Amino acid sequence: MLPTITVDHKKCLDPLNCGKCLQICPTHVLGLGTKVGPRKFKEIDKDQFIVAGVRFEKCTGCMDCVSTCPQSAIQVSF
Amino acid sequence: MCQWCEKYADGYPRWYFNPANYARKLYKIRKDEGPEIQPNPIAPGGMALEDRDFIEALDRKDHEAIAKRRHDIEQLAWTVHFGQVVTLEDTLKVIDFIYPIAVMTCACRRSMLGLPDEENFTCMGMGPGMYKWERWPNNYRGGLQFLTPDEAKDAVIKMNKRGLVQTLFTFGTPYIGGICNCDYPDCSAIRTTIDHGVQFLWKGHHVARIDNELCSGCASCIHRCQFKALSFSASQNKAYIDSFQCFGCGLCATECPQEAISLVERASLPALANVW
């Protein structure tokens, strides 16, 4: 079963420096990237970085990302 | 036979020993890159081509949809950007004839782990493309540091010791522009290949074999495998390698205190010669 993972980008403001959810996810489901498409590797403004679900099939539903997020920006539902 | 050797070795023993494959023209000729796929900017490398629809097709075991999408992704990847596992020995040989070489940040680990640039210099770039990064540093996050051949060898040996697998990646096949130092689960290519069966990463030209007479059962090799090919046989009290799953990187062999693991040529085993 695949989860729906939503990250509220209005609350998650600095994922490039925070990254707590990326570090805690036991199966590395979440990804850090940018809103600006293929320019993701370039030296761009940190404000352009966002987190989103990528490898949904590995999500166990443990909710560690939800509880670790200091901004309560992540929601996971099945 | 390895199809990349067939096409691009040009008389050299392997395609990645052919210096011409490291010398891309400094101007760009756009290739027909096959099916158009909009990449996901949140996912690194080839994984960016696997969207939610594909993950859903895997989840509901829709084999037809999976096969179609896999075919499209692989055709694009093999034209533009894919990798092959290489042994440490072969990597060091490559470093002997390529120039220049630089260390840079790993885009996969940035995306998967959010690693800050200063902890993330595990990727190596080589060839004329490096001058582009040097000239326009804003084009590559974290920048790059040029290495002498000896420094590059040291760096690769250290990363191999740490447990990272050496892989060569194309940037516009057959132009090889990167030595990646990969591990599961944070290398996008290993994950797409192992988890999703989309072949971004080709197996290498070797296969590891265990000499059961020499294996002491110490298990010090087990953690080295990044490809789920190595396990421990409780009944035999020996390490066990699934030859069909082995990518031939040699990480297990370099860790074995008994020298019980050796690498044999993939081509020498009839049933494995075409397992890539």
Per-residue model confidence (pLDDT) at position B228: 96
Mean pLDDT to the nearest integer, B195-213: 97
Segments in chain A below pLDDT 70: 38-41
Res. B32 pLDDT band, cuts 50 70 90: low
Q: Is A46 helix (H, G, I), strand (E, B) or coil?
A: helix
Residue numbers in A near B180 (CB within 8 A): none
Residues 6+ apart with CB under 8 A from B96: B149
DSSP B119: G
**Domains (ranges, CATH) in chain B?**
3-28+82-202 (no CATH), 206-268 (3.30.70.20)
What whole-number distance in Å separates Cα of residue B208 and Cα of residue B217? Answer: 16
Per-residue model confidence (pLDDT) at position B24: 76
DSSP string, B190-228: HHHHHHH---SEE--SEEEEE-TTT--S--TTGGG-SSS
CATH classification at residue A17: 3.30.70.20
Q: Compare CB distances from B41 to A16, A36, A56 and report the shortest one's residue.
A: A36
Residues of A with CB under 8 A from a CB of B: 1-2, 15-19, 22-23, 27-28, 31-38, 40-44, 50-52, 54-58
Q: How many domains does chain A have?
A: 1
Structural domain harbouring A51: 4-77
Per-residue model confidence (pLDDT) at position B83: 97
Q: Compare CB distances from B113 to A22, A35, A42 and report the shortest one's residue.
A: A22
B214 neighbors B258 (Cβ within 8 angstroms) = yes
What does the mean pLDDT of chain B come to?
A: 93
Per-residue model confidence (pLDDT) at position B40: 85
